[in-house]
Structure 1
Amino acid sequence: MTRGIFSYLEELQNDLFVLKPADIEQKYFDICRELADLKEINKIYRISMEDYKNSLEENLKAALEHITDDVKAIYFEYDIDNNWDGNYYLCQEYNELSEEDDDWACEWEIYIQGPDFYEFSEMYQMKGGFGDEKEEIGITLFLIVRTMTLFLGLAKKYDTHIPVCIAYHDQDPIMRTKKG
């Protein structure tokens, strides 16, 4: 029986705490090429993320400029179903992952529009999904992993005194980029 995507995402959360972004990407490249057609995984791998990264970083810098004592976390959410469209939310509440309550992400004062990433959205719409088929698990997981590792690299680049988190729309739990 094939593991479900949510099992892999739970493992990914732990990996975000202990592995470098490049090591995470390699680990899940190896996993996903076993689940999905290697040709499709290589397509995802070859999609340039440079413009997306630059926009994501520019928007993160803008979010950092709005940090006040009231802001407890920065949360980036992207919408897999709508062109990978994303926004940064400056949240006034925050709960640790162990509390299993991510309602804090709804308590935001400021949001900053982030980039979209049509190439990933298109690949997801054509081949991905959250069903039980190995192919769609592999494709969806690798799209998410590449997004997460890119974001993790940016989050680590800026030494924030508050948590920086990421999730796709309706993801539960929200991914933390560092403990505490």
Structure 2
Amino acid sequence: MEYYKYWEECSSMIENSQIEEAQTYIVNAAKKLGVSDEIINKIFAVNLKRYENKLKKDFDEVLKQVTEDTQAICLYYSIDNSWEGTYYICNTYDDNDINWFASSREWIDTARMRKFGEIFERDAESAFFSDPESSGILSLLMYRTTVTFSNVIKQYKDLALKVGISCDEDSFVKIHEVVYNTQQTD
């Protein structure tokens, strides 16, 4: 998993709202890991608008199920199942232990991104950070997925929850870490 360090650095940049820097970093890392310009261009050519719209539509539904006990929402997507997504509504949250979202009792299935699943299966040979090229490809796919979800969450100005995204059980990218509540009370 030595190649995972590139994704960790990229995800840290995303958490710090350095989206353009993260893209430059992960593209350069992918090239360093042997990913061809052809595959990089193919990944960035995928139109994610329908995916983003579905994530937003379902996030609106998730918000209807949020209670005062809800602390966080996590979008989990399965890289082994065509990027099939699930929103987890969580009554616990722990920055230091990812297991908080796995113990969630409520969830809603959401969008999948079959095109990314096909690229992962064909071009990365479904390898999860096990060799240089597949690690570069997966990191690019994860970058695009994470930024797309981040674009959805930015549309919610008064969101008083922590929100993140993950595709494995060991990491979590914080999309909305600071709890915002700018509503004025009289």
Query: How does the TM-score come out when normalised to structure 1?
Result: 0.88
Indicate the residue corresponding to 1:130 in structure 2: 128
- Is the contact made by 2:75 and 2:165 (CA closer than 8 Å) also made in structure 1? yes
Counterpart among 21, 28, 38 of residue 19 in structure 2 = 21
Counterpart among 106, 110, 122 of residue 110 in structure 1 = 106
For residues 118 and 19 of structure 1, do their structure 2 counterparts lie closer, same or farther at Cα, with a shift above 3 Å needed?
Answer: same
Indicate the residue corresponding to 2:153 in structure 1: 155
Question: Which residue type is aligned with residue 31 of structure 1?
Answer: A
User: Equivalent residue of 1:141, what SS?
Assistant: helix
Counterpart among 139, 142, 150 of residue 140 in structure 2 = 142
- Is the contact made by 1:63 and 1:112 (CA closer than 8 Å) also made in structure 2? yes
Q: 2 CA distance for matches of 1:43 and 1:174?
A: 26
For residues 79 and 132 of structure 1, do their structure 2 counterparts lie closer, same or farther at Cα, with a shift above 3 Å needed?
Answer: closer
Instruction: Kindly report which structure 2 residues correspond to 1:30-179, keeping only aligned pairs within 5 A, or say none.
Output: 30-35=28-33, 36-96=35-95, 99=96, 101-128=97-124, 129-159=127-157, 160-168=159-167, 170-179=168-177
Q: 2 CA distance for matches of 1:178 and 1:122?
A: 29
Deviation at 1:22, TM superposition (A): 4.0
Q: 2 CA distance for matches of 1:22 and 1:50?
A: 19
**Aligned CA-pair RMSD:** 1.8
Q: 1 CA distance for matches of 2:61 and 2:21?
A: 28
Indicate the residue corresponding to 1:8 in structure 2: 6
Deviation at 1:71, TM superposition (A): 0.8
- Is the contact made by 2:93 and 2:101 (CA closer than 8 Å) also made in structure 1? yes
Deviation at 1:131, TM superposition (A): 4.3
Question: Which residue type is aligned with residue 106 of structure 1?
Answer: A
Deviation at 1:156, TM superposition (A): 2.1
Deviation at 1:20, TM superposition (A): 4.1
User: Equivalent residue of 1:93, what SS?
Assistant: coil
Deviation at 1:31, TM superposition (A): 2.5
Q: Which runs of at least 4 in structure 1 moved beyond 6 Å after TM superposition?
A: none
Q: 1 CA distance for matches of 2:56 and 2:154?
A: 12
Query: How does the TM-score come out when normalised to structure 2?
Result: 0.85
Q: Structure 1: any 5+ residue segments left out of the alignment?
A: none
Q: 1 CA distance for matches of 2:32 and 2:6?
A: 13
